[in-house]
Amino acid sequence: MNTMAMQRARLIRNPRTWYCYWLSGFFTMILNVQGNIIPFLRDELHLSYRTLGLHPAAIALGMILAGTFTEKVVASLGRGRTLQISVGGTLLGTLLLAVAPSAVVSIGGCLLIGLTGAMIPGIIAPLMAQMHGRARDQAYAECGAVTYACAMASTLAVGAAVELGLGWRAALLVGAGLGIAIVLSLGRGPIPDAPPHETERRGGLPLACVLFLLTLGLGVALEYSVLLWAPAYLEGTIGLTRAQAAIAAAAFSAAVLIGRWAGSFVVRRIRPATLYPLVVALVVPGFVLYWVIGTPVLAIIGLFVLGLSVALLYPLSMGLAIDAAGPRGDAAGARSAFAAGSALLLSPLVLGGIADEVGLRLAHLAIPALAIAIVSCFSIARRLQRRMVPA
């Protein structure tokens, strides 16, 4: 594919496109509402911190398991039916979380959310690639922007529900209502399945695809490390008050949202394989401002630059993995849940262990270390791809 051909590619959004966008947003909203209601669960159910930590771990475990069977479910039931089951399972998990009388039920609800909800992004990635061809990278970027907007809206929904006296469960009901509205308004038409010659393909994924999926997981770990550490770092190391640190940390989320919206225009002109190392390179100035210099204003600017860097890692990694998978696009999409779930499960444990051993400031060196690992995997995958291209 030459650059001029890519520049001429235009994204034509149809109801199926918006269905993909909003389903992805729905799943992410439920994930983030779960994260924001954990303090309320702890108070109501009198949970220990260890038991509390089992909730996000259950979601991550569910996502990992979903990555192992989604392809088989899609092959048996089709994309459309599987998406309906995914939404239904996520709604049921959300209901269990809302009415849970004990930790067993709330953890079970989280497991069900991860198990069924994670099938959604695994299905829509190859679906959008099939529907939009050369314009798929723009679709991925736009989908990422909608998804992140829903993530930020979930935080506002929890705060507003509690502030208005409706209780934290109202935020879960808002997320559930969004899922039902999406299915009723956009989910009625047929969903195209993969061509027959593609569903008949079996065997392992190409090594280049596996490496791109690894970059996806590492990118999730990089994003999570900043989200996990930024408020405490801005308070304990930079010297902001707790309230100031919480507000300043939002610069990262705002940058991710802006970066994904802007990325939907950038990918029209710059090939993903060219753009990817450029966005990873933004980690360098961002980290220098945030960690090396570390004055309050520059740290917040650096955090914003880090957000711009992280913004396109997931959608670009997904597009590169789907492209490298060739006819095994559904398999690559399914395995993306495995990669993301593994990162969500392991990164808090690993990053927390590092911080306990060397302190919060030195633990931040994991950020450039992850960036180096991402670039290394990307470079190897690209070399493997070039070797497969006939002369």
pLDDT for res 379? 95
pTM of the model: 0.84
The architecture in CATH of the region 15-193 reads: Up-down Bundle (1.20)
Q: Are 106 and 55 in contact (CB under 8 A)?
A: yes
Q: Which two tokens stand for residue 216?
A: 């996806």
Domain range summary for the chain, segments of one domain joined by +: 15-193, 200-391
**Fold match between domain 15-193 and domain 200-391:** yes
What letter represents residue 263's amino acid?
G
How confident is the prediction along the chain (391 residues), in pLDDT tens digits per residue?
A: 444 344 446 778 888 899 999 999 999 889 888 877 877 888 888 888 778 778 888 999 999 999 888 888 998 899 889 999 999 999 999 999 988 889 899 999 999 999 999 999 889 988 888 888 878 888 888 898 898 888 888 878 888 888 888 888 888 888 899 999 999 998 887 888 877 655 545 567 899 999 999 999 999 999 888 887 888 888 888 888 877 887 888 888 889 989 988 888 888 888 988 999 999 999 999 999 999 887 899 999 999 999 999 999 999 999 999 989 888 888 888 898 899 989 888 887 788 788 888 888 888 899 999 999 999 999 999 999 888 654 3
φ/ψ (deg, to 5) at 6: -65, -40
User: What DSSP assignment string belongs to 183-236?
Assistant: HHHHSSS--PPPPHHHHT--SPPPHHHHHHHHHHHHHHHHHHHHHHHHHHHHHH
Output the CA–CA distances (angstroms, integers) from residue 242 to 250, 293, 296, 301, in the order listed.
13, 21, 13, 18
One CATH from 1.10.10.10, 1.10.357.10, 1.20.1250.20, 3.40.190.10 for 200-391: 1.20.1250.20
pLDDT for res 3? 43
